[in-house]
């Protein structure tokens, strides 16, 4: 393995473990020593990969959202599925994963918005960028569903996507509180397949 590949693999390992620990303990409850220990990276090596804990947090946000963006994109690109069906399939798959993990952690974006979104400029910027990327992809699926006649056309797709992001985050918080998928299922049935449907 080249030095560059080894560096990239180590950085990814730090981000993987950092995301997992922040989901479990929050940003302030996750110490750099814990991340280094979990990733089996020597102490003192952290600053080779990240200039600060704040920058690590910002990169962890980007690292966290990337697979969700990829998965949502794959659902929207799946042949034989309309836009609304693809979105519904994506959210139902996410619900199944959360149930399988016993609702642990919830959503890192929502967790960090509440914990450090108003106190860390790098985190706030990274969170906004991540939410906007996610919202824009939802809007793309909704616009397609509007063109297919499946989603209401009296509201802009981006405005509906913003509403979906807000509703999903609220449902995720209720899920954590109630230790139940019921709020998430209600989101899909009442918001996505109810309010949004043409």
The CA-atom distances, in angstroms, between 25 and each of 30, 31, 76, 124, 181 are: 6, 9, 33, 19, 22
> Structure pTM?
0.91
CATH of the domain at 114: 1.10.357.10
Residue 121 φ then ψ, to 5°: -60, -45
- Nearest Cα neighbor of 38 from 20, 59, 57 is 20
Instruction: Give the structural domain span for 37.
Output: 1-50
pLDDT of residue 6: 63
Q: Are 35 and 21 in contact (CB under 8 A)?
A: yes
Domain count, the chain: 2
- The DSSP 8-state label assigned to residue 154 in this structure reads S
Tens of pLDDT, residue by residue over 124-146, are: 999 999 999 999 999 999 999 99
Query: Helix, strand or coil for residue 151?
Result: strand
- Please indicate, yes or no, whether residues 38 and 108 belong to a single structural domain of this protein: no
pLDDT of residue 164: 98
- Please indicate, yes or no, whether residues 22 and 91 belong to a single structural domain of this protein: no
Mean model confidence pLDDT for the chain: 93
CATH of the domain at 9: 1.10.10
pLDDT of residue 198: 95
Euclidean distance between CA atoms 83 and 95, whole angstroms: 19
pLDDT of residue 3: 56
- Please indicate, yes or no, whether residues 44 and 103 belong to a single structural domain of this protein: no
pLDDT in tens, the chain (198 residues): 555 666 789 999 999 999 999 999 999 999 999 999 999 998 888 899 999 999 999 999 999 999 999 999 999 999 999 999 999 999 999 999 999 989 888 899 999 998 888 888 999 999 999 999 999 999 999 999 999 999 999 999 999 999 999 999 999 999 999 999 999 999 999 999 999 999
């Amino acid at each position: 393995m080249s030095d560059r590949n080894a560096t990239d693999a180590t950085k990814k390992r730090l981000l993987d473990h950092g995301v997992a620990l922040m989901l479990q303990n929050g940003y302030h409850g996750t110490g750099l020593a814990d991340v280094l220990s979990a990733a089996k990276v020597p102490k003192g090596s952290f600053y080779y990969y990240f200039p600060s804990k704040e920058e690590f947090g910002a990169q962890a946000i980007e690292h966290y959202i990337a697979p969700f963006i990829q998965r949502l994109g794959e659902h929207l690109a799946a042949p034989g599925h309309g836009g609304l069906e693809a979105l519904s399939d994506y959210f139902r798959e996410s619900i199944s994963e959360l149930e399988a993990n016993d609702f642990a952690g919830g959503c890192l974006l929502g967790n960090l918005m509440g914990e450090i979104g108003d106190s860390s400029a790098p985190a706030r910027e990274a969170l906004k960028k991540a939410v906007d990327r996610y919202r824009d992809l939802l809007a793309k699926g909704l616009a397609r569903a509007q063109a297919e006649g499946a989603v209401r056309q009296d509201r802009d797709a981006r405005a509906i996507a913003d509403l979906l992001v807000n509703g999903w985050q609220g449902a995720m918080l209720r899920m954590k509180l109630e230790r139940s998928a019921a709020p998430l299922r209600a989101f899909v049935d009442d918001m996505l397949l109810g309010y949004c449907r043409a």
